Structure 1
Amino acid sequence: MATITQLPADPRIAPLSPATWEAFAGLVERHNGIFGGCWCTYFHDCEGRGPGYDGSRDFKKLMVKRGVAHAALVLDGDEAIAWAEFGSPDELPNIHHRKQYDKEKGGDPDYRITCVFVDRRYRRQGVTELAIRGALELIGSKGGGRVESYPHDLTGQTKKMSASFLYNGTRRLYERLGFTYLRPKGLKNCVMSIEVPART
Structure 2
Amino acid sequence: MTTDAQWETHPVTPDRFEDFADVINRNRRPTHCWCLSHRLTAAEIVELGGDCEDQRERAMRALCEREHPPGVVTYLDGEPVGWCNIGPRSEITRLNRSTLMLPTDDLPVWSIVCVVVRSGFRRRGVSHELIEGAVAWAASRGAPAVESHPVDPKGRMDLTMAFVGTRAMFERAGFEVVGTTDATASKMPRLTMRRTLT
| Shorter-normalised TM range | 0.7 to 0.9
CA contact (8 A) 1:11 1:74 kept: yes
Aligned to 1:191: 192
| Structure 2 length-normalised TM | 0.81
Corresponding pairs, count:
188
Aligned to 1:66: 66
- Taking only the aligned residue pairs, the percentage that are identical comes to 23
> What's the offset of the Cα at 1:29?
3.0
Verify: 1:40 aligned to 2:35, yes or no: yes
For 1:163, the aligned partner's letter is L
Aligned to 1:75: 75
> What's the offset of the Cα at 1:45?
3.2
CA contact (8 A) 2:11 2:137 kept: yes
Secondary structure of 1:95 counterpart:
helix
> What's the offset of the Cα at 1:95?
2.9
Verify: 1:144 aligned to 2:143, yes or no: yes
> What's the offset of the Cα at 1:90?
1.9
CA contact (8 A) 2:89 2:96 kept: no
> What's the offset of the Cα at 1:53?
6.4
Q: Which runs of 5+ in 1 are unaligned?
A: none
> What's the offset of the Cα at 1:117?
0.4
| Structure 1 length-normalised TM | 0.80
Matches within 5 A, 1:19-168: 19-30=15-26, 37-46=32-41, 47-50=43-46, 54-95=54-95, 98-102=98-102, 105-154=104-153, 157-158=154-155, 160-168=156-164
Q: Distance in 1 between matches of 2:39 and 2:68?
A: 9
For 2:87, the aligned partner's letter is G
Q: Which runs of 5+ in 2 are unaligned?
A: none
Inter-CA distance 176–78: structure 2 relative to 1 (3 Å threshold):
closer
Secondary structure of 2:64 counterpart:
helix
> What's the offset of the Cα at 1:69?
2.9
